[in-house]
């Protein structure tokens, strides 16, 4: 069995080549099938993960809604959520003034401005400054007024600062005349979300 007799082995060699060819085709085809299936599986895995995350997120959202919706709707009803209602603020100030029995007051509202982004935390939070000037009989009229205003406030406000000063330099007399003047700056906050729906 030295030198192969190629002349009589043509058919056998063709058979070997055919086997090689068929085996190669089979292996390549099946490998392609496996690669395709692998890619499809990875894609499906990604879709499944996305669906899982979406479901988890929806559950979290559901919990958030269950926890906060009522309070949110209350805030919306009070005017914290939505467009600012300046007339309601003025009415509230007047009513508080009347309730406390003060002589009267002056108010001034500045244009609405965006709040500090650190405070807003991405929410469309705006603030409107209201400067109130009012005479007081005694110092305690101021906290009483602020408490009355807070009780009926159509929204959320904070007292940014106040100045109490004496009117004139006359000495104290027991008369029913205001001797003090208060000047306070109140900040009314409103959130105005874009229209849309929860997803």
Q: Which of residues 115-144 bind another protein (CB under 8 A)?
A: 116, 118-123, 125, 139-140, 142-143
d(CA 142, CA 168): 19
Question: Using alpha carbons only, how large is the chain's radius of gyration in Å?
Answer: 39
Under rule CB under 8 A, which residues in 13-32 are in contact with another protein?
Answer: 13, 15-16, 18-20, 22-24, 26-27, 29-31
Minimal distance in Å, beta carbon 28 to another protein? 9
Minimal distance in Å, beta carbon 92 to another protein? 15
Nearer to another protein, 114 or 164 (CB): 164
Does residue 185 contact residue 160 with C-beta atoms inside 8 Å? yes
Minimal distance in Å, beta carbon 5 to another protein? 5
d(CA 23, CA 92): 90
Q: Which of 154, 167, 149 is nearest to 98 (CA)?
A: 149
Q: Is 160 in the site for another protein (CB under 8 A)?
A: yes
Minimal distance in Å, beta carbon 91 to another protein? 20
Residues 6+ apart with CB under 8 A from 192: 81, 82, 83, 124, 126
Nearer to another protein, 1 or 87 (CB): 1
Nearer to another protein, 165 or 176 (CB): 165
Under rule CB under 8 A, which residues in 163-182 are in contact with another protein?
Answer: 163-166
Q: Is 83 in the site for another protein (CB under 8 A)?
A: no
Count interface residues toward another protein (CB under 8 A).
83
Bridge partners (DSSP) listed for residue 108: 131
Minimal distance in Å, beta carbon 30 to another protein? 3
DSSP states of 91-108 = HHHHHHHHHHT-S--EEE
Task: Tell me how many degrees the CA angle 191-192-198 measures, rounded to the nearest 5.
Answer: 100
String of contacts with another protein for each residue 43-72, x by CB under 8 A: -xx-xx--xx-xx--xxxxx-xx-xxx-xx
Minimal distance in Å, beta carbon 103 to another protein? 19
Does residue 182 contact residue 136 with C-beta atoms inside 8 Å? yes
């Amino acid at each position: 069995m030295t030198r192969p007799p190629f002349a009589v082995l043509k058919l056998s060699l063709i058979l070997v080549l055919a086997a090689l060819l068929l085996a190669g085709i089979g292996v390549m085809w099946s490998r392609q099938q496996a690669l395709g299936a692998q890619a499809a599986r990875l894609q499906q895995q990604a879709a499944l993960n996305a669906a899982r995350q979406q479901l988890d997120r929806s559950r979290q959202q559901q919990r958030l809604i269950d926890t906060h919706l009522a309070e949110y709707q209350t805030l919306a009803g009070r005017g914290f959520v939505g467009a600012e209602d300046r007339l309601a603020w003025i009415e509230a100030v007047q009513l508080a003034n009347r309730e406390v029995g003060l002589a009267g007051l002056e108010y001034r509202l500045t244009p609405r401005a965006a709040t500090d982004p650190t405070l807003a935390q991405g929410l469309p939070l705006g603030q409107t400054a209201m400067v109130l000037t009012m005479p007081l009989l005694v110092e305690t009229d101021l906290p009483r007024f602020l408490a009355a205003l807070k009780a009926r406030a159509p929204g959320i406000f904070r007292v940014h600062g106040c100045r109490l000063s004496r009117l004139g330099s006359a000495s104290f007399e027991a008369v029913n005349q205001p001797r003090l003047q208060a000047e306070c700056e109140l900040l009314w906050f409103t959130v105005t979300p874009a229209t849309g729906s929860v997803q």
